[in-house]
Amino acid sequence: MSKPSSDIRFWLIIFVSIVSVGFISVRTQYNNLKVIINTNSEIESLKKSDLKSIILGEKPRWSNKSLIAIALLKTNTEIGKSIASDVAGMTSNQFNKHWLSVVFRGISMPPKFYPNGQGVRRFVAENSSSIGIVGKDFVIGNEVKVLMIIDD
Amino acid sequence: MRYWAIVGIVLCFFKGTISFGQETNWNGFTDINYVIQDSSSFFLGQYDNFINTQITDNISFLSEITFEIEHGDDLEVDIERVILRYQVDNYLNFSVGRHHTPVGLWNTYYHHGVVLQPTITRPQIFNFTGILPIHVLGFYLNGDFIGKKKLGYDLMIGNGGISNSIIGDDFKGKSVTMGAHFYPVNRMKLRLSCHFDKIQEGEDNDNGLALEDIKQHIYTASLDYEASKFRLLAELVALTNKSKSSGKGHTLGLYIYSGFTVGKITPYVRWDEISYDANDPFFTLEDLSGFLGGVRYEFSYNTNVKLEFHHKDFNSMRKTNLLMIQWGVGF
Give the confidence band of B228 by pLDDT, cuts at 50, 70, 90.
Answer: confident
For residue B59, the surrounding DSSP H or E stretch is strand B59-69
Please answer whether residues A149 and A51 qualify as being in contact, where contact means their C-beta atoms are separated by less than 8 angstroms: yes
What pLDDT shows up at residue A95? 95
Give the confidence band of B171 by pLDDT, cuts at 50, 70, 90.
Answer: low
A105 in contact with chain B, both atoms CB, cutoff 8 A: yes
Which of B233, B273, B225 lies closest to B118 in space, CA to CA? B233
Interface test with A, best of B301, B302, B304, B329 (most A CBs within 10 A): B301
What pLDDT shows up at residue B168? 62
- As a whole-number percent, the residues of chain B with pLDDT over 90 amount to 67
What pLDDT shows up at residue B205? 80
Report the pLDDT averaged over residues B132-154. 94
Name residues of chain A where pLDDT drops below 50.
1-2, 21-27
Please tell me the distance from the alpha carbon of residue A108 to that of residue A56, in angstroms, as a whole number.
Answer: 9
Interface test with A, best of B27, B52, B56, B150 (most A CBs within 10 A): B52
Which of B64, B42, B40 lies closest to B51 in space, CA to CA? B64
| Cα torsion through B42, B80, B296, A98, rounded to 10 | 150
Find the length of chain B: 331
Please give the angle made by the CA atoms of A89, A93 and A94, to the nearest 5 degrees. 45
Going by DSSP bridges, is the β-strand pair A45-47/A148-150 parallel, antiparallel, or unpaired? parallel
Please tell me the distance from the alpha carbon of residue A84 to that of residue A86, in angstroms, as a whole number.
Answer: 6
Q: What digits encode the pLDDT tens for the residues B15-60?
A: 443 444 678 889 899 999 999 998 899 989 999 999 999 999 999 9
- Across the interface, do A58 and B145 touch by the CB < 8 Å criterion? yes
Please answer whether residues A68 and A109 qualify as being in contact, where contact means their C-beta atoms are separated by less than 8 angstroms: no
A128 in contact with chain B, both atoms CB, cutoff 8 A: no
Residue B163 has pLDDT above 90, yes or no: no
- Across the interface, do B298 and A93 touch by the CB < 8 Å criterion? yes
ipTM of the complex: 0.84
Comparison of pLDDT for B321 and A21, the residue scoring more: B321
* DSSP letter for each residue of B73-94: G-EEEEEEEEEEEEEEETTEEE
CA atoms within 13 A on the CB side of B9: 8
Q: What digits encode the pLDDT tens for the residues B97-130?
A: 999 999 999 999 998 889 999 999 999 999 988 8
Give the confidence band of B173 by pLDDT, cuts at 50, 70, 90.
Answer: confident
Strand partners, B65: B49, B79
For residue B10, the surrounding DSSP H or E stretch is helix B2-13
Please tell me the distance from the alpha carbon of residue B56 to that of residue B125, in angstroms, as a whole number.
Answer: 38
Please answer whether residues B109 and A101 qualify as being in contact, where contact means their C-beta atoms are separated by less than 8 angstroms: yes
Please answer whether residues B244 and B279 qualify as being in contact, where contact means their C-beta atoms are separated by less than 8 angstroms: no
For residue B176, the surrounding DSSP H or E stretch is strand B175-185
Q: Looking at residue A95, what DSSP letter applies? A: H
For residue B66, the surrounding DSSP H or E stretch is strand B59-69
Identify which of A65, A97, A109 has the shortest CB distance to residue B25. Answer: A109
CA atoms within 13 A on the CB side of A25: 10
Which of B101, B89, B111, B159 lies closest to B134 in space, CA to CA? B101
The chain-wide mean pLDDT, for chain B, equals 89
Q: What digits encode the pLDDT tens for the residues A2-31?
A: 455 667 676 767 666 655 544 444 445 677
If phi > 0 it is left, if psi is from -120 to 50 it is alpha, else beta; for residue B145 that is left
Report the pLDDT averaged over residues B170-192. 91
pTM: 0.85
Residue B167 has pLDDT above 70, yes or no: no
A96 in contact with chain B, both atoms CB, cutoff 8 A: yes
Q: Looking at residue A84, what DSSP letter applies? A: I
Identify which of B90, B300, B330 has the shortest CB distance to residue A59. Answer: B90
Comparison of pLDDT for B99 and B162, the residue scoring more: B99
Interface test with A, best of B66, B90, B101, B110 (most A CBs within 10 A): B90
What pLDDT shows up at residue B213? 87
Q: What phi, psi does A142 have (nearest 5°)?
A: -110, 15
Interface of chain B toward chain A, CB-CB under 8 angstroms = 23, 25, 27, 50, 52, 54, 57-58, 60, 62, 81, 83, 85, 87-90, 108-109, 111, 113, 115-116, 144-145, 150, 228, 298, 300-302, 330
